[in-house]
Structure 1
Amino acid sequence: MNKLVIGSVMCGTSCFGWMGLFYLSNYLLTRYFRAKKWNISMHHTMNMSEAIVSSIQAFVSTVCGFVVVIACRHDVMRAAHSLASWYAWIAGSYFIYDIIAMYKVHLASLAEVPKCLSGRVTSYLRRRTLLVLHHVVVATVLVPVLIYRDGTGDFFVGCFYCVELSGPFTNMRVVLSRLGLKTTRWYAINGILMIITFALCRVVIFPYMYFAYGTQFGMDIFQVMKKIPLHCNLGSLMVLLPQIHWLRLMVLGALKISRGASLTDADEKID
């Protein structure tokens, strides 16, 4: 079988795997909360289940990213590692799965679910516009670019995988929020770690990649931007802009907490 067939099988299989983890997490959490007699809604339970699966994916992606970066750091353009291309198929399947999972979480949040499919989808897209757009762009544009690169730039692919390092902290915020622990010390500590890892691995990492390329070839960042292909610059920009937006929301939320106020779901962007 050629690379496309094997990759497609990996993508389809892992997509079912992510969905299976989502339902398994939801089942186990539901049983646990009932056993503890905790009054946790189905919506909140599904939201936490989605966060758990997201954390698992973030951990796997970060590990793969570190392996690739360490193996390829001596030559950022020509050094290769097989994980760089193969994990892209699994990452793509996760973003496809997460669009579905977010849709299910959204429906669980509604007091009255629209009867027609178009009404349900429209409601979902209005509420999660930016995240859905981000997922679609990553799955349909970024992932194919990561897979079909003519065997170059595995170092940068590894860096892209490392952006998920902040994922466990972002998702822990969801779990702590749904358990009613927003005012605890754990929530504050997790928030600080979330902002630090998010800033480093989702924002600072982009100029770092340009710096690493420039260091190897004796260029400054602006020279690098002129040298590399336009689609690479545009791809990085499309991924970076939403990260800056979300980092801004996190910082504003942290400032609000520091003033003694509590965050709403709208402040946290938790569905």
Structure 2
Amino acid sequence: MNMHLIIKRTLLCGISGFGWMGLFRLSNYLLTYYSKTKGWKISQHHIMNICEAIVSGIQAIVSSVCGIIVVTSCRHDVMWAVHPLASWYAWVAGSYFVYDTFAMYQVHLSSLPKVPESFMARFSSYIKRRTLLVIHHVVVAAFLFPVSVYRSGIGDFFVGCFYCVELSGPFTNMRIILSRTGLKETRWYVLNGVTMIISFAICRVLVFPYMYLAYGAQYNIGILDVVRKIPLYCNVGSLMVLLPQIHWLRLMFLGAVKMSRGKSISEAEEKID
């Protein structure tokens, strides 16, 4: 990658990072103003939670659109077909995961009855409460992002598939918004929950065997042969992303069962990313 291209993509990463944070701050300002004007009884924590969900939902839609474009353009040759969005959007997505780690921290602080004076105490409580989500974000930003950028111009199809995992994002974030705005007992919450589970299972879990099958179909080999043929870091990276998705899908099913029995789920149980 030449220096000129690196500068352009780094600039894109920086601008998009400020853009995500700007959307978060703007939505927080507008929603806070609206709630005060209309006398809406909602806590600042819930407002910030909604704002984070709004930005996350927007990112999910943008990522999904990019993913669909890349996948449909490259499915004829899953290894060698190229689409520029595969590399360019990686820089935008990378900046989002850095932003969202900070946004989650801000939302966490707003939930505390008393914010600790020490930064280490604040950070420690954040990590304890959002351990898996933070690990997920760090892995994506520190491992999968460089792999998606520095891959010698191959595998755009698979990068597009990874972008498509965000297709479930609008529904996971809508659950947060419906809950925080007092619509948890409505049919919209239930309908969104069913759609969320189905889309999550397809886009975040089944997409992984689909990628292996697509590779195997192109080279006429079985899925076990695919596992043995592709580089170890590809298998390890896929597994590191897949395992949290299976865990979160399990929590979704347990939450659905819990609600079907007339019980409610907590805010922590609703936070899936």
- Identify the TM-score tier after normalising by the shorter chain: over 0.9
Aligned residue in 1 for 2:143: 141
CA distance in structure 2 between the partners assigned to 1:96 and 1:268 by the alignment: 21
Q: For the Cα contact (< 8 Å) 1:183–1:262, is it kept in 2?
A: no
Aligned residue in 1 for 2:56: 54
Q: Identify the match of residue 177 of structure 1 among 176, 179, 183.
A: 179
CA distance in structure 1 between the partners assigned to 2:130 and 2:183 by the alignment: 24
Amino acid at match of 1:13: I
**Helix, strand or coil at the partner of 2:12:** helix
**Cα distance, 1:104 vs structure 2:** 0.4
Structure 2 unmatched runs, 5+: none
**Cα distance, 1:267 vs structure 2:** 2.8
Amino acid at match of 1:236: S
**Cα distance, 1:199 vs structure 2:** 0.4
Q: Which deviates further from its counterpart, 6-15 or 233-242?
A: 6-15
Q: Identify the match of residue 226 of structure 2 among 203, 216, 224.
A: 224
Q: Identify the match of residue 87 of structure 2 among 85, 88, 92.
A: 85
Q: Identify the match of residue 4 of structure 1 among 3, 6, 11.
A: 6
Q: For the Cα contact (< 8 Å) 2:44–2:110, is it kept in 1?
A: yes
Q: Which deviates further from its counterpart, 137-146 or 27-36?
A: 27-36
CA distance in structure 2 between the partners assigned to 1:33 and 1:76 by the alignment: 49
Q: Percent identity?
A: 67
Aligned residue in 1 for 2:23: 21
Q: Identify the match of residue 131 of structure 1 among 110, 130, 133.
A: 133
Root mean square deviation of aligned Cα: 1.2
Q: For the Cα contact (< 8 Å) 2:208–2:238, is it kept in 1?
A: yes
CA distance in structure 1 between the partners assigned to 2:21 and 2:139 by the alignment: 20
Amino acid at match of 2:216: G
Q: For the Cα contact (< 8 Å) 1:166–1:198, is it kept in 2?
A: yes
Amino acid at match of 1:46: M
Amino acid at match of 1:10: L
CA distance in structure 2 between the partners assigned to 1:71 and 1:257 by the alignment: 41
CA distance in structure 2 between the partners assigned to 1:78 and 1:120 by the alignment: 47
TM-score (norm 1): 0.98
Change in 2 beyond 3 A, CA 1:205/1:270: closer
Aligned residue in 2 for 1:99: 101
**Helix, strand or coil at the partner of 1:2:** helix
CA distance in structure 1 between the partners assigned to 2:125 and 2:94 by the alignment: 24
CA distance in structure 2 between the partners assigned to 1:110 and 1:245 by the alignment: 26
Deviating 4+ runs (over 3 angstroms)? none
Aligned residue in 2 for 1:189: 191
**Cα distance, 1:266 vs structure 2:** 3.2
CA distance in structure 2 between the partners assigned to 1:118 and 1:95 by the alignment: 22
Aligned length: 271
CA distance in structure 1 between the partners assigned to 2:216 and 2:222 by the alignment: 6
Amino acid at match of 1:66: I
**Helix, strand or coil at the partner of 2:41:** coil
Structure 1 unmatched runs, 5+: none
**Cα distance, 1:270 vs structure 2:** 7.2
What whole-Å deviation, never above 9, does each CA across 1:135-188 have from its counterpart, x for those lacking one?
Answer: 011001000000011010000000000000000100000011111211110000
CA distance in structure 1 between the partners assigned to 2:174 and 2:62 by the alignment: 16
Aligned residue in 2 for 1:37: 39
CA distance in structure 2 between the partners assigned to 1:36 and 1:184 by the alignment: 22
CA distance in structure 1 between the partners assigned to 2:265 and 2:139 by the alignment: 29
Amino acid at match of 1:240: L
**Cα distance, 1:2 vs structure 2:** 2.4
Q: For the Cα contact (< 8 Å) 1:65–1:159, is it kept in 2?
A: yes
